[in-house]
Amino acid sequence: MSASQSAVRSRAEAVKASRTFDWLILFTLFFVVLGGYHIHYMLTGGDWDFWTDWKDRRLWVTV
């Protein structure tokens, strides 16, 4: 198969390939949005004990 030929031979194959590509994009987009939400929650509403360290208790008086 040369580079100038189409990967699909019929309209039915083209429709199937298009729908498969749409599902792949939808699947990928779902996990990108889910990951974005997870990172956002980790940075803004997660476990604040993760961000504190030993200096916070010792230097709290100066704040």
Q: Are 8 and 17 in contact (CB under 8 A)?
A: yes
What's at 63, amino acid-wise? V
* Whether residue 63 has pLDDT greater than 60: no
Residue reference for tokens 């100066």:
62
In the chain, what are the domain boundaries?
11-62
State how far the Cα of 9 lies from the Cα of 15, in Å rounded to an integer: 11
Structure tokens at 38: 């997870």
Rounded to 5 degrees, what angle do the CA atoms 49, 50, 51 make? 90
Instruction: Give one word for 46, left, alpha or beta, with left for phi > 0 and alpha for psi -120 to 50.
Output: beta
Rounded to two decimals, the pTM is: 0.57
Give 53's pLDDT tier (boundaries 50, 70, 90). low
